[in-house]
């Protein structure tokens, strides 16, 4: 296979970074199959990041490292107590003591500490979710020679990313699983599906555009490339891969192709798409009681652990895009091969 894509990989295909569902193992398998594997770093400390980067670096393939770039909200005891009260009936049901959480924010924003770890590896691609880091941090990444990507959910966000230094923009349609990448247009009513968003972003930008959201087969890849995408980023379709770390309850939920998904803020405080489960049904997928991203996670964690121990995904984030048709339990290389057919000419 020859290098043909602007990503430095034979295929213009990115395995989406999926915090909580994978580590370097999936990214390496994807890289060996000719696509760009991604390492989600939002939930890694510096030591964990270094450990995973060593593995990726040793694979000898190009790879992407991904960070969230939110501004952590200030703690607010009254707000956190309100969230605890909303979930108190579940705590009682599980016999748990509803004491305030230890303050684990679960997802950390990109930092100078993380940049220092990156500098030893100079990753070929670095992607961001929720915008771009502050100019000094972004300049540090650029000095490493990394290609910088970030997600946009509207044309306005895509133009902002281009103007502020992104080398390519991921157009994230509403079908996408996991967290919305929005940072300017946070109302999902302003956001559109991939087939609508992608051509508008392609027309508006001078830099490459990567299509994301609901792409799980060769036909989806073909449609995205025909609409002007320079590459495709797919997440959900890799969740059942043997090399993924998707939990047992998450895998079980993903097997049902008809289970509905919804945008929810219950699991982190930020809007993200997942399969509808008990807590989403009973609290409503979006609750005003949930504290802002990423603070909602800590109060749900004890409930999640109890339920998962009983084999239930009632309190787990079951992240998934709207389209699960291509999901299957298989080596990641098989999924890459399936998607790669969409790039074949003729
Ligand atoms: C389980 C899961 C976790 C995700 N975590 C991240 C993440 O850590 N960082 C990120 O930039 N995007 C994350 N995303 C969003 C993806 O980058 C991408 O937008 C999405 O997977 C594309 O839609 P699809 O899932 O329909 O393929 C996640 C998606 C899923 C399904």
What residues have CB less than 8 Å from 190, skipping those under 6 apart? 153, 154
Q: How far is the CA of 326 from the centre of ligand 1 (A)?
A: 16
pLDDT at residue number 66: 98
Ligand 1 near 246 CB (within 6 A)? no
Q: Ligand 1: distance of its center to the CA of 267 in Å? A: 15
Q: Are 106 and 167 spatial neighbours (Cβ–Cβ below 8 Å)?
A: no
Ligand 1 close to Cβ of residue 66 (< 6 A): yes
- The alpha-helical segments, DSSP class H, found in the chain are 24-32, 46-59, 77-93, 112-119, 135-143, 155-163, 194-204, 218-226, 248-254, 278-283, 297-309, 332-340
Task: Dump pLDDT digits (tens) for 29-59.
Answer: 999 999 999 999 999 999 999 999 999 999 9
What residues contact residue 105 under an 8 Å CB cut-off, 6+ apart?
72, 294, 295, 297, 298
The pLDDT of residue 212: 99
- Residue 101 pLDDT level (bands cut at 50, 70, 90): low
The pLDDT-based confidence of 97 (bands split at 50, 70, 90) is confident
Is the Cβ atom of 178 under 6 angstroms away from ligand 1?
A: yes
Cβ of 149 less than 6 Å from ligand 1:
no
pLDDT digits (tens, 9 = 90+) for 176-233: 999 999 999 999 999 999 999 999 999 999 999 999 999 999 999 999 999 999 999 9
What band does 99 get if pLDDT is binned at 50, 70 and 90? confident
Ligand 1 near 40 CB (within 6 A): yes
Q: Which of 13, 15, 16, 338 to mutate to test the pocket of ligand 1 (most atoms within 8 A of CB)?
A: 16
| Partners of 127 in beta bridges | 66, 149
């Amino acid at each position: 296979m020859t290098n043909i894509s602007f990503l430095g990989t034979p295929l213009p295909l990115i395995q989406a970074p999926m915090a909580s569902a994978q580590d370097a193992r999936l990214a390496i398998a994807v890289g060996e199959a000719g696509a760009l594997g991604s390492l989600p770093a939002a939930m890694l400390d510096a030591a964990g990041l270094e450990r995973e980067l060593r593995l990726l670096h040793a694979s000898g393939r190009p790879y992407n490292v991904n960070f969230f770039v939110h501004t952590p909200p200030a703690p607010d005891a009254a707000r956190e107590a309100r969230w605890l009260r909303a979930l108190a009936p579940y705590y009682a049901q599980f016999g748990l003591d509803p004491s305030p959480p230890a303050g684990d924010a679960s997802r950390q924003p990109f930092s100078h500490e993380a940049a220092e770890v990156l500098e030893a590896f100079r990753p070929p691609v670095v992607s961001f979710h929720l915008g771009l880091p502050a100019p000094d941090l972004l300049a540090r990444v650029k000095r490493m020679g990394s290609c910088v990507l970030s997600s946009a959910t509207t044309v306005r966000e895509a133009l902002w990313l281009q103007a502020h230094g992104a080398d390519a923009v991921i157009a994230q349609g509403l079908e996408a699983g996991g967290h919305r990448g929005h940072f300017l247009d946070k109302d999902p009513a302003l956001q559109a599906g991939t087939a609508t968003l992608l051509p508008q972003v392609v027309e508006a930008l001078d830099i490459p555009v990567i299509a994301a959201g609901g792409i799980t087969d060769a036909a989806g890849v073909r449609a995205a490339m025909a609409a002007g995408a320079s590459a495709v980023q797919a997440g959900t379709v890799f969740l059942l891969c043997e090399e993924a770390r998707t939990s047992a309850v998450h895998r079980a939920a993903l097997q049902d192709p008809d289970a509905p998904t919804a945008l929810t803020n219950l699991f982190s405080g930020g809007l993200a798409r997942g399969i509808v489960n008990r807590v989403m049904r009973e609290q409503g997928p979006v609750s005003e009681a949930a504290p802002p991203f990423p603070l909602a996670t800590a109060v749900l964690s004890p409930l999640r652990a109890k339920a998962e121990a009983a084999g239930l995904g009632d309190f787990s984030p079951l992240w998934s895009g709207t389209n699960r048709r291509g999901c299957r339990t298989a080596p990641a290389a098989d999924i890459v091969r399936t998607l790669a057919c969409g790039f074949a000419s003729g």
